[in-house]
Structure 1
Amino acid sequence: MRRVAITGMGVVAPGGTGVKEYWELLTEGRSAIRRISLYDPSPFRSRVAAEVDFDPVAAGLRPQETRRLDRAGQFAVVAAREALADSGVADAGVPADRIGTSLGSAVGCTTTLEREYVVLSDGGRMENVDHEYAVPELYWKFVPHSMAAEVAWAAGAEGPAAVVSTGCTSGLDALGHAADLIREGTVDVVVAGATEAPLSPITSACFDAIRGTTPDNDPPERACRPFDRTRRGLVLAEGAAVLVFEDLELARRRGAHVYAEVAGFASRCNAYHMTGLKPDGREMSAAIDAALAEARTDPAEIDYVNAHGSATKQNDRHETASFKRSLGDHARRVPISSIKSMIGHSLGAIGSLETAACALAMEHGVVPPTANLSEPDPDLDLDYVPNTAREARLDSVLTVGSGFGGFQTALVLTRPDRGGAAS
């Protein structure tokens, strides 16, 4: 079976566009969460989010692209271009039909769809809308595959192209699909990742209704507190991360820089409840066990765990139990952190953003912290790396995700030659 390398990364994230700015924010433990500015948040219980300061023109998009693409699509294309430039794979002579695309998103082009509905319905006052008032590109924003097609065009990729939409695990599941395409020999390169721009009144209303988001709006930067006794819910966010996955042997032959190897992946569904999680952690543990088995990695070899860490009591307890179940005594020794404390929860995009953070953590030998962790929950007794980044050699890293619908996903990254430096 062929092995899968990460040879390029591109990021559009709260706090900065580009991999360098993203990594600086995480290692400094800075929060990008603020009062929502994209719309009036005053009617809502939760009025904070992690927004991206994004200028499409400054990011290199042409006016035609800016008009055609939803905000989430704009993020995806910009991140893809950075990842492709970083990888240098365009100069490797890979045939176009040997390059695939795999893009995750939970809610697609929400921003445009809501805005256009408001216009067509005259602010919701008209039951029968007049389609003639719609922008010509509306259909392209309605169909979920549009963003994957845009990324494929940016990459010149004529191989398989797919959209993966599994809620908040979409960003991890899209990477898992990409790795499978390379392992089975269908393609040699996959441009893979996830994008999300969900920040809109309808999203705020939905999360308010289930009381999933925090009501702690002041100060905004302290709103997200995973594993803290005082946590009160997640903080919505937006962003994108795109990675270049490549057959490891091809990457080595062309002298590419390899950030990490995608060694193991698994996903499970609890078939139990749309939002509920059992406190014993069994469902996430099953995904972790399967990913470790595929990676041929012993639990005691894991050097860092990137937690889902959404700052809801239910999730924090579930995954703490899952780490203990899967990692045994090692769970008490391994550093664990949640970067959602700094960049919020960007739904389907977060898994790819977290995977990029894990690859950078391996590259630089630094574990990003869990910000705002000042009063640890006594029921959560693991090492959650509070507030300050920590230097450590990382040869094997586990990242996990949990999503509405009962989805549980785990992915394992390793150095291509464990115990030695990555090429």
Structure 2
Amino acid sequence: MPSASSDVSDVSDSGDPVPSSLWRDRDFRRLWLGQTASQLGEHTGLVVIPLFAVLALDASASQLGALRAMGQAPILLLSLFVGAWVDRWRTRTVMVLTDAGRTFALGAAAVAGLFGLLGLPALFVLAFTVGTLSVFFDVAYQTSLVRLAHRDQLIRGNSALEGSRSAAQIGGPALGGALVSLLSAPIAVASSALFFALSFLSIRRIRRTESTPERPEHPEHQERPERPSRVWRRIHEGLRFVVGDPALRAVCLASAAFQFFFAAVMTVYLLFLPRELHLSGTTVGLALAATGPGALLGSVLAARLPHRFGYGPVLVTAAALGDGVFLCVPALHGSSAVTVAALLAVGFVFGAGGQLVNVAVMAVRQTVTPDGLQGRVAATITFVGMGLSPLGSLLGGFLAEEWGVRTGLLVTAAGMMLSPVVMALSPLARLGRTLPAAR
């Protein structure tokens, strides 16, 4: 692994916040700013596209489920190949190209919307395109910090990057909901494109030269495409490593359970808020944005709690509280101030618990994984953990249409509790205050 730049000094593995030496690193700041902008674009788009389908095109429950599944399908189809590919290229290059692609795709969609051409078929194409590019960006971004910082700075670096995601969760949904409700879908789509353009401009300024593990040694091979057999072999190496590591194997199973039912929950939730509770687009955006402040708190706590209580207890407790709070939502009725306050509280608790889990799990993965496998392991966990999301979205749409929105929400929220149960019964629950080294 390349060492961090000279202005990034080693720090002890304590519970302190991100050390100032890490923030003084210009390349880390550029990565942080680019990640923040990218997450703002993504979280704005995650609200804009479904809300436009529900409010402007009167999409049915099954259509909304299919639309969300279309955006999530690239995770299932491409994650493993992307991981094998990213391990052989500079993460900066991958992130810059995907930001440019998402900017162009959303900009084209905004123009199409201005001419009245942004119907359901166009939304399906847009969701799949942006989802595909996001798979590349997410795998590269999860690998990039390992190449910029020392291993004993990973938990703090991840806390900072996840904090930027928290800020995006605060601003993105609220902005997206307000723009769809007050202005128009094309303008809302254009706002996402602008955020990806800002991410492009920031990340392309990263100057540190990265090592690219396992690149071909002979110049004559560098221009040739990699043989399929070699790609599959590299994918198999990532899969074998994850399956052979008890902690990573448990991460995959818990993540798969959570992501499947969370995709189902969100499909029903996006129907429940405007149609059952009769909330406006702006209020829906605010309810979704409530996860942001909670996630921001979770990012801060993630730099401290695991070192005080142990990674295992923090993971299990945070997952149980964060996932379990959604069981309260089906009991809500009407659009009163009490209902809105309850939704904000649910989002806050869910965001805090989820962020604690995200930061701790990412630290576990990065710490136990050798440098040359970082991209493939990240992609494998993404593939297993989020690969079932399209099926979860379809299930949510089916349950809402067949059983009713309220019942569907209760069933899918109960399903999310499977994830903390898996964690509690796995080696993750026994992790202490320090993490094992890469094997």
The structure richer in helix per residue is 2
If asked which structure has higher relative contact order (CA below 8 Å, sep 6+), I would say 2
Structure-2-length-normalised TM-score: 0.30
Structure-1-length-normalised TM-score: 0.31
